[in-house]
A and B are shown apart, each in its own frame.
Chain A
Amino acid sequence: MTASHFLIMVLFALLVSIVFATLMRDTAREQVRTGLAMFGGFVAVAYGLGWLMYPFPL
């Protein structure tokens, strides 16, 4: 089985964002806006942290 680490992280961020946005907001419009913002934030932070860790060997 081949699974991309990045795609798994994106899927994780997507699912968590959907649940958090649904919990936090009551209208569909607010849920979509919050969910998108949260999803973008998760992916951007994870991508940034990934690059920050790049110079350090395991």
Chain B
Amino acid sequence: MIGIRVATKSTTAERTKSAAEPGALAVVCLLAWLLPGAGHLWLGRRQKGIIFLLVIPFMFLVGLWLQGRLFPLAMSEPLVFLGALADRAIGTPYMLARMLDAGNGTVIAVTYEYGNTFLMTAGLLNALVILDAFDIAMGRK
């Protein structure tokens, strides 16, 4: 049992060490952005990775179900622009929603603002997850 634990730890440590190179760091951050939790899974943090992989896209789906809107990158409206950045921070789920023509938002729906909040928060949480993966890859955690 102890042997297995040691082997697992050394494997994680080796991955972390190798990920400290700039190219590998970029790969970890890109993976973490593309798919919530993928960065953690890549770094051997399986439990955390699976939780992020399930919870964050689910939150994004709830936002779509609540008829929230995926905002356009409109520089003329700073708050909308920030909301659009938050929406895009979730990566693949955003792209899939766009491809499926979801996230147009229904302004008159009672749940419209709730939907926006879920969509943006899912993206912002993924931004935190990306930073956490970066810290792990740098050996800070």
Contacts and interface: CB of A to CB of B under 8 A. Distances in A.
Interface of A: 1, 3, 5, 8, 11-12, 15-16, 18-19, 22-23, 28
A8 B51 CA distance: 20
B55 interface: yes
B111 A8 contact: yes
A10 to B, nearest CB: 12
Nearest 10 interchain pairs by C-beta: A15-B59, A22-B51, A19-B125, A8-B114, A18-B55, A3-B111, A22-B48, A23-B132, A15-B55, A19-B55
Chain B: number of interface residues, binned into ranges: 20 to 34
Nearest to A11: B62
Contacts of B111: 1, 3, 8
B47 A12 contact: no
A18 B114 CA distance: 19
Chain B contact residues: helix, strand, loop or mixed:
helix
Given A18-B55, A19-B129, A23-B129, A12 B110 contact: no
A18 B118 contact: no
A12 B129 CA distance: 17
A15 B117 CA distance: 12
Nearest to B40: A22
Contacts of B55: 15, 18-19, 22
A23 B117 CA distance: 20
Interface string B47-87: 11001100110110010001000000000000000000000
B121 A16 contact: yes
